[in-house]
Amino acid sequence: MTRDLSTPPVIPSGLLAGSPQPTLPAAQGRLVLRPWTAADAPVFLSAYQDQEIRRWHTRRPSSETGVREWFARYRQDWEQERGAHWAVARSGGEVLGRIALGSLNFDDGTAGVGYWVLPAARGAGVATSALTTLSEWAIEKIGFHRLHLDHSTRNHASCRVATKSGYRLEGTKRSAALHDDGRHDMHLHARVREA
């Protein structure tokens, strides 16, 4: 593929795909971000039965077979450097949530972030620890310059997680997302590499 850039890419192609997806320790070793496995399919499917997760996520798996297909696409995303998806789990194995990088742009060094946490893990800092860990890895180890996320302006918990994790609120995207109850304005947050 011909690259007609006047600047070199921020992140060299092959940096992710050249090695296995890592497991990242978080929260002083109490949590890990690890690749999804087939054994996680039941808990992943059950997460999308939770009203809060359903409220903010309109793309939902309908069966464990469908979840395993998602997991296969997650592996392909890593291999093709399109995205990276992790289970957020206790170091003992229990899955507590999900976090992912998407919209990877190696030329500009940018990526989007998304996450959810199961009901039993909410309010304990799980999402904040996972987002902080993923962000530090993506910026410091991989070399991304800017990570961004958006959430409904009605999702106050996600706003708190973003802010606590160093994602500054940059503005509001009006009527930017369609949820089950209609159009939502979306807050845009970003974390940028310190110069």
DSSP 151-195: EETT-HHHHHHHHHTT-EEEEEEEEEEEETTEEEEEEEEEEE---
Determine, yes or no, domain membership for 176.
Answer: yes
Count structural domains, the chain: 1
Determine, yes or no, domain membership for 10.
Answer: no
Asked if 38 contacts 71 with a C-beta cutoff of 8 angstroms, the reply is yes
CB-based contacts of 136: which residues, under 8 Å, 6+ apart?
Answer: none
Residue 32 above 50 pLDDT? Answer: yes
User: What's 144's domain CATH number?
Assistant: 3.40.630.30
Tell me which residue range forms the domain holding 130: 24-192
What tens digit of pLDDT does each residue of 50-79 get? Answer: 999 999 999 999 999 999 999 999 999 999
Determine, yes or no, domain membership for 9.
Answer: no
Position 4 scores a pLDDT of 80
Determine, yes or no, domain membership for 154.
Answer: yes
Q: Would you state the structure tokens that stand for residue 77, as one six-digit string?
A: 């995303």
Determine, yes or no, domain membership for 51.
Answer: yes
Helix (H) or strand (E) holding 85: strand 84-90
Question: Higher pLDDT residue, 4 or 165?
Answer: 165
Determine, yes or no, domain membership for 12.
Answer: no
Position 1 scores a pLDDT of 47
Determine, yes or no, domain membership for 187.
Answer: yes
Determine, yes or no, domain membership for 2.
Answer: no
